[in-house]
């Protein structure tokens, strides 16, 4: 038996896109008890691919829609693209984030001088999804860092949270 996983996106403007994500093969003659259904590693891999497809489509739509000035309806020029790493509950995703130039009609541009606008920075100020941050906080309040990281690695395709160790001598403590 072969299973193909196809993912379809319909944007707000009516455009449709189809992604061929993954496939699973379960030959009948060599199937063992561990081979029935979806395995945890396969599920993590598939969910990670679904997350990347959804995020890339969302970022493309956000970029396209945020380039239109709400005041004069002109389209902002793209200043540049930056590589960003976003941590999500279902994996670390590398994206190409566009930054657009400010509109000349925008009254805030004169009051707030600055560089290009990044619509992605509004949605991901910490470069992690709020859901992942809540899970880090929840597990961190109940378990040690190592145990929380082990639990997340066991069940989710996300990267473990970053931590910092402060040496005792820097806090004024003696060994």
What's the pLDDT tens digit per position in 94-139? 988 888 888 777 655 554 556 778 888 888 888 888 888 888 888 8
Indicate the domain borders of the chain: 2-171
Residue 8 has what pLDDT? Answer: 92
- DSSP-derived secondary structure letter, 135: H
Nearest of 122, 156, 116, 120 to residue 136 by alpha carbon = 156
Furthest-apart CA atoms within the chain: distance in Å: 71
24 versus 161: the higher-pLDDT residue is: 24
pLDDT digits (tens, 9 = 90+) for 5-22: 898 999 988 899 999 988
Encoding tokens for residue 45?
């891999």
Looking at every residue in the chain, the average pLDDT score rounds to 80
Residue 51: the pLDDT is 92
* Cβ pair 55, 34 in contact under 8 A: no
Measured CA to CA in angstroms, residue 114 lies from 103, 118, 125, 140, 156 at distances of 12, 12, 17, 38, 39
Residue 168's pLDDT band, with cuts at 50, 70 and 90, is very low
Give the C-alpha separation, 82 to 78, whole Å.
11
What integer is the mean pLDDT of 162-175? 46
């Amino acid at each position: 038996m072969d299973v193909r996983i196809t993912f379809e996106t319909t944007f707000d403007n009516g455009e449709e896109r189809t992604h061929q994500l993954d496939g699973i093969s379960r030959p009948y003659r060599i199937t063992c008890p561990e081979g029935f259904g979806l395995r945890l590693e396969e599920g993590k891999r598939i969910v990670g691919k679904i997350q990347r497809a959804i995020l890339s489509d969302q970022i493309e739509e956000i970029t396209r829609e945020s380039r239109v000035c709400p005041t004069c309806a002109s389209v902002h020029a793209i200043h540049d693209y930056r590589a960003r790493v976003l941590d999500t509950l279902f994996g670390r995703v590398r994206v190409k984030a566009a930054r657009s130039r400010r509109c000349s009609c925008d009254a805030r541009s004169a009051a707030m001088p600055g560089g290009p606008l990044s619509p992605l920075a509004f949605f991901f100020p910490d470069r992690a999804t709020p859901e992942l941050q809540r899970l880090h906080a929840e597990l961190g309040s109940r378990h040690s860092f190592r145990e929380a990281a082990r639990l997340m690695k066991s069940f989710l395709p996300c990267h473990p949270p970053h931590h910092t160790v402060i040496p005792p001598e820097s806090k004024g403590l003696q060994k």
